[in-house]
Amino acid sequence: MKFGTFSLPHVLNVLHDQPRIQFELPLSSASFSYREDVGGRGARFTARGEIRPTSQATRDQISALADGTARVLDLEETTLTVLEKCLRFQTGPTWTDNTAESQSAGGTPFTLLGASSDYAYFGHREKFNKTQFDLETLGNYGARTWEYSKGDGTWGTLTIDIDGTSGFSQDGTVLFTPPSDWKRDTVNSISNKFWVRVKVASVTTPATVNQIQINTVYACIMLDPHFEQAVERYNRQSYAVTFAQKEDIA
């Protein structure tokens, strides 16, 4: 589990909570109040772990992260989630929604990029840093160009850290660091998603896809961490840290 570039030591469990905001209004004609759920306050994550061996330096490192700065929280979950939106743009303009196929391991394979003028769009309500591709037909493409949404219809160049697909020529995972100015945007009337898109310089063999999965990450601030006061064991110290989501900081 990583917060920014810092890996939390020996995380034992993580609690995921979604606090809600409620509006309550007394009703003169009833013995109860009118209550309305008016939305969420963002996710909260509480991680509990141990510092092994006990280290004041590690404790200070954790405490220093509770400085009000929003950083990327990566739970590094082994179980990936389905992508919320998968689109293909072709000149025309023509949009093809491949979301249902991309979410099903047993669905109909779909073409990822059929021409150099195509774009493949991947959108999700939360940020993500890992996109895993299960391919049916292995592709043969020219150079890839990846971009991310910056809001208001503008795009920035996305730097890929690791392309485990070797340009969609094999099953694999594409890894990148979420940009600090990555923002939700609207693509083909689909709003409120963090988008990345990719195009290729040339197409020899189009890749077809069975399924796409992602690993979500969250922009959070760390609240005051807690450490056990009475250290009963010299070689470990328990701690608990809570993170509050601040996804719209950029």
Domain that holds residue 85: 81-218
Q: In the predicted model, what is the mean pLDDT of residues 36-62? A: 82
Tell me the C-alpha distance between 46 and 40, whole Å.
17
- Do the domain assignments include residue 87? yes
Instruction: State pTM to two decimals.
Output: 0.78
Whether 198 and 158 map to the same domain: the answer is yes
97 and 51 fall within a common domain: no
Q: Of 86, 74, 68, which is closest to residue 45 (Cα–Cα)?
A: 74
Asked if residue 124 has pLDDT above 90, the reply is yes
pLDDT of residue 31 exceeding 80, the answer is: no
Residues 36 and 149 in one domain: no
Does residue 248 register a pLDDT over 70? no
pLDDT at position 78: 75
Examine the domain organization and report whether 238 and 169 are in the same domain. Answer: no
Q: What is the pLDDT of residues 143-158, one digit of tens each?
A: 999 999 999 999 999 9
Chain centroid, CA 85 distance in Å: 13
Domain assignment present for 75: no
> Does residue 200 belong to any structural domain of this protein?
yes
**What confidence tens digit (pLDDT) does each residue in 173-205 have?**
999 999 989 999 999 999 999 999 999 999 999
Task: Please give the pLDDT value at position 38.
Answer: 42
Lowest mean pLDDT among 15-19, 135-139, 165-169: 15-19
pLDDT given for residue 162 in this prediction: 96
pLDDT for the residue 37? 47
Verify that 110 and 142 share a domain, yes or no. yes
Q: Are residues 42 and 137 in the same domain?
A: no
Percentage of the chain modeled with pLDDT above 70: 87
pLDDT of res. 76: 87
Query: Residue 225 above 50 pLDDT?
Result: yes
Write down the mean pLDDT value for the chain: 89
The tally of domains found in the chain comes to 2
Closest of 194, 190, 191 to residue 72, by C-alpha: 194
Residue 86 is predicted with a pLDDT of: 98
Percent of the chain with pLDDT over 90: 73
* Residue 76 covered by a domain: no
Confidence at 107, pLDDT banded by 50, 70, 90:
confident
> What DSSP line would sit under 148-195, residue for residue?
EEEETTEEEEPPEEEETTTTTTSSEEEEEPPPTT--EEEETTEEEEEE
CB 134 within 8 A of CB 97: no
Torsional class of 39: left (φ above 0), alpha (ψ -120 to 50), beta (otherwise): left
User: Is residue 22 pLDDT above 70, yes or no?
Assistant: no
- Asked whether the beta carbons of 107 and 97 are under 8 A apart, the reply is no
We report the CATH number of the domain holding residue 169 as: 2.60.120.260
Same-domain pairing of 100 and 188: yes
List phi, psi (to 5°) of 101. -65, -40
Whether the ω angle into residue 179 lies within 30 degrees of 0, i.e. cis, is: no
Exposure string over 62-86, b if 16+ CB within 10 A, otherwise e: beebeeeebbbbbbeeeebeebbbb
| CB of 14 closer than 8 Å to CB of 1 | yes
State residue 56 phi and psi, 5-degree precision.
-65, -35
Kindly state whether residues 9 and 116 are assigned to the same domain.
no
For residues 54 and 228, give the distance between their C-alpha atoms in angstroms, rounded to a whole number: 11
Asked if residues 221 and 70 have their Cβ atoms less than 8 Å apart, the reply is yes
Question: For residue range 64-101, what is the model confidence (pLDDT) as tens digits?
Answer: 999 999 898 999 877 789 999 999 999 989 999 999 99
Mark whether 107 and 157 lie in a shared domain. Answer: yes
Burial (Cβ within 10 Å: 0-12, 13-18, ≥19) of residue 227? middle
Compute the residue count for the chain. Answer: 250
